[in-house]
Chain A
Amino acid sequence: MTDIIAIKNIRKTFPGVIALDDVSFSVSRGEIHTLLGENGAGKSTLMNVLTGLYHPDSGQIQIAGENIHFTSPRDSLACGIGMVHQHFMLVPAHSVFENILLALDKVPNFYSRKKYKEKVQKLIDEFNLDLDLDTPVWRLSIGAQQWIELIKLLMRDCKLLILDEPTAVLTPQETARLFNVLRKLKEQGKSIIFISHKMREVMEISDRVTILKKGRSITTRVRGDFDESKLASLMIGRDKVPQWQKNLQMSDEIVLDIQNLSVRNDRGLSDLDDFNLQLKKGEILGIAGVAGNGQKALAEVLTGLKNTNQGRIYAKQKDITNSNARYSYVAGIAHIPEDRKTIGIAPDMSVDENLIMKSFKSGSFRNWIFQNKKAIKRNAEEKIEQFAIKSGPDGTPVRYLSGGNIQKVIIARELSEKPAVLVALYPTRGLDIGSAGYVHKVIADGADQGMSTILIAEDLDELLKLSDRIAVMFRGRLIGYVDPRNTTREEIGLMMSGETPGEKV
């Protein structure tokens, strides 16, 4: 087989971040090549390099053996590389045909509508798609909209199609149809880069699989040389599960009980679907799951940022589903947000001021209507010392701190009120090993003092190390609980793809 594209030692850095370290792989003619990796492994960056949006710092892209430099997405399209993005680039008010026409660049000003329509219709018939050319796009299902994106690329005669998690928005039936189309395309000699982290689909469709981890391409496996559990453990890493010695002083008292909770997002899809979860006093409950399977919605509901559609939430038998009740309860929930810079801090204000953001109204920080500057300063000195925050000179705005130190500021603030429950969303994302270890210690110490933690993380190592129990989520549902002391990453990996329900603990 001939390589239609070869990627060699691509490296791409952003200020302070190595997005791609060393990535090499190639795609042959008529091949479906899967890129597998966790969030943050560098898949999107790599695709942006391939489609000419980013310029790599070093490394080559070779097409038919020749080095190519893309300066814009136009260049890569001209080379026959097309991409179906996760977010479709369609004009909702226009018809299917108009949207397809819009994507073509050599349409003459006076064109024969009939001729183009015939061309498009031919493609639709060829792949046996159920698509009416005159329907406005907004009336179509997500799956049908994806067909349009695909036809756009085929009309442009793309040789290499990149599909970024195309099945994330599809029903199983739609997925099956998509796969049939992909197979047909393959027979016609098109090459496809398929991005996914759903094991079953990867198994079903891939000729080869390249695994990305932390910006590196770890290995490329040919069909027959991989199975689901092997891929899962390769993707997550092959380090040994570290044994975490924790006092199992967890009581059976349930502090938070979520029953049949459903939350729909703006698009009407279910973020949480009949979701159940019990949190016990003093426990660290890890939530495992591929990103985008409802973890964020769970955190937002618990911290009062999102409303529920169905189901009940009880805190110590008290119903707090009703948002007003929840708000008052939420005040007692500490929350380490996913997006620490956009909702965690007031970036222009000092460390001192950020540390009191949740408690500025309390008596200890005010005299009548005035702020008690002395108390605020004293509090800051305490916290800075206790959490080893490198805060710079007095009054330095928080935004000048490093990511790790910003995270420490947030954690110091959230834990200062001795909360009963902590909801931590990817608390170590982007932190160096030292800071991450520190965050772990803080959470473990909190548990020793009776704080219950819901720990949502991507890194299975982190979950296995810290959690007393791990709940696995898939498509907004609880698949099951596992005991971190007697489970395997394979088992968790499978559950993360919604396959087998684990044994209940």
Chain B
Amino acid sequence: MKLVIERREISSALLRFSAPIASIGVALFVAGFLLLASGVSPLEAYKEIIIESLGSIYGLSETLVKTTPLIFAGLGVSLAFRMQIWNIGAEGQIYVGAMGASWVALFSGIQTHWIMLTAMFFAAFLCGGTWAGVAGFLRARWKVNEVIVTLLMNYIAILWVDYLIYGPWKDPKGFNFPLTAQFSDTARLAEYFNTRMHSGFFLALFCALVLYLFIERTVWGYEIKVIGSNQRAAKYAGMNTGMAIFFVLFLSGAIAGIAGFSEVAGLQHRLQHGISPGYGYTAIIIAWLAKRSAIGVVIVSFLMGVLLVGGDSLQLLWQLPVAFVYAFQGLILFFLLASDFFIIYRLKFVKGGAHV
């Protein structure tokens, strides 16, 4: 008997749908052992996660607060994935987006509410876009690997923002804390239901819709899909693939940058250290789970929001470390990649050796 890996002719729709769900199930199962090892009942813990994140207005609003930046960053990353471009730098793009928006909020002196917010939005958009655009340019012009560039630029972005808030932008009245001054009311997004939930969430949904139409309905979306499916064929059909790579990475970073705007204008109301606790990295998992679909990004971001909020409560209730939430995310991605393998291949037992 011998085990042979065989490519499937056609992967059924049922398999493609059920495999990700099954892999989340397996991830939950394995994470259960981690919980057991920490002396926590897995079932209790999972119940706690659901109740804390969805069981009350407060919980739900907190979940949506976490979901919002995840949607932006996830959309950005998934747009690039669509073209087989790997933007690992959403985290850094969130930071420079936040920086751009903060600069407008703090120093522009604009007095009108909607002009201020629009200006902040575009500042974040341009900053995030330019940040990723560097990687796009290098990739398009000299085939520099965009994974490395986007990843390394995260550190630059995060440290740069740190420099600003520890140095020139530090709030003089902030008792030497690493934060900028609070934004004025003109530079704040509306909040709802007496919770921290803000209109950034609706902006995120709107963004998802626009991106969906962009990809599925426009001529450019078509071009991106062709390039993503087969770059050589695209070139041969006369498409300017270099320009498209730059453009898509720019847009990808710009959308991630909006997450930075939404965080500072809607939630923090100032620029401070650690404005994103790794949303940009979670976005990579989200984009993968969502299978590159904009609607999928919204759904998966929400699930991740549930996990983050629920994970917080696990920390409070059982003093579990935050690393547990990261480990759990890692497990999900790990099993998801494995499930991808089984969608494409099947294992088969054959008798005897391979040769006669």
Contacts and interface: CB of A to CB of B under 8 A. Distances in A.
- For A55, A305, A331, A346, which residue has the most chain B Cβ atoms within 10 angstroms? A346
Interface string A54-73: 01111000000000011100
- For A69, A303, A343, A361, which residue has the most chain B Cβ atoms within 10 angstroms? A343
Nearest to B218: A369
Nearest to A346: B229
A343 B236 contact: yes
Nearest to A392: B10
Nearest to B220: A369
Nearest to A370: B217
A406 B188 CA distance: 55
A353 interface: yes
Interface of B is mostly: helix
Contact of A346 (B217, B225, B356): B225
B355 A370 contact: no
Nearest to A57: B356
B233 interface: yes
Contact of B230 (A55, A331, A342): A342
A342 B232 contact: yes
B356 A305 contact: no
B219 A346 contact: no
Nearest to B9: A400
B224 to A, nearest CB: 11
A348 B226 CA distance: 9
Interface in A319-361: 327, 330-331, 335, 337, 342-349, 353, 357-358, 360-361
Given A57-B356, A305-B236, A360-B219, A347 B226 contact: no
B226 to A, nearest CB: 5
A371 interface: yes
A353 B232 contact: no
B355 A371 contact: no
A211 B324 CA distance: 67
Given A353-B225, A358-B238, A360-B223, A343 B10 contact: no
B1 interface: no
A221 interface: no
Closest 8 CB pairs of A and B: A55-B355, A346-B229, A348-B229, A357-B237, A343-B232, A346-B226, A346-B230, A343-B236
B236 A335 contact: yes
A357 B229 CA distance: 12
Contacts of A369: 218-220
B229 A347 contact: yes
B234 interface: yes
Contact of A343 (B221, B225, B230, B356): B230
B229 A371 contact: no
A465 interface: no
Given A305-B235, A357-B226, A360-B223, 18 more contacts: A56-B356, A69-B356, A71-B355, A330-B238, A331-B238, A335-B236, A343-B232, A344-B236, A345-B233, A346-B225, A346-B229, A348-B230, A349-B226, A353-B225, A371-B217, A371-B218, A371-B222, A400-B9
B354 interface: yes
What band does the interface of chain B fall in when counting residues whose beta carbon is under 8 Å from A? 20 to 34
Contacts, number: 74
22 contacts: A55-B354, A55-B356, A56-B355, A69-B356, A305-B235, A330-B238, A331-B238, A343-B230, A343-B232, A343-B235, A346-B225, A346-B229, A347-B229, A348-B225, A348-B230, A349-B225, A357-B226, A369-B218, A370-B217, A370-B218, A371-B218, A371-B221
B218 A349 contact: no
A344 B233 CA distance: 5
Contact of A360 (B222, B228, B232): B222
A298 B220 CA distance: 32
Interface string B230-259: 101111111000000000000000000000
B11 to A, nearest CB: 10
Interface in A67-125: 69-71
Interface of A is mostly: loop
Contacts of A56: 355-356
Contacts of B230: 342-343, 345-348
A138 B225 CA distance: 42
Interface in B91-133: none
Nearest to A52: B355
A305 B238 CA distance: 10
Given A346-B226, A347-B229, A360-B222, A400 B10 contact: yes
Nearest to A55: B355
Contacts of A370: 217-219
A429 interface: no
Interface in A349-399: 349, 353, 357-358, 360-361, 366, 369-371, 373
Nearest to B7: A15
A360 B225 CA distance: 12
Nearest to A359: B237
Nearest to A60: B356
B64 to A, nearest CB: 31
B13 to A, nearest CB: 11
Contacts of B236: 303, 305, 335, 337, 343-344
Nearest to B356: A58
B355 A358 contact: no
Contacts of A358: 237-238
B233 A343 contact: yes
B345 to A, nearest CB: 14
B80 to A, nearest CB: 16
Given A360-B219, A366-B219, A370-B217, A346 B233 contact: yes
A378 B47 CA distance: 52
A335 B354 CA distance: 41
A269 B22 CA distance: 55
Contact of B355 (A69, A303, A342, A400): A69
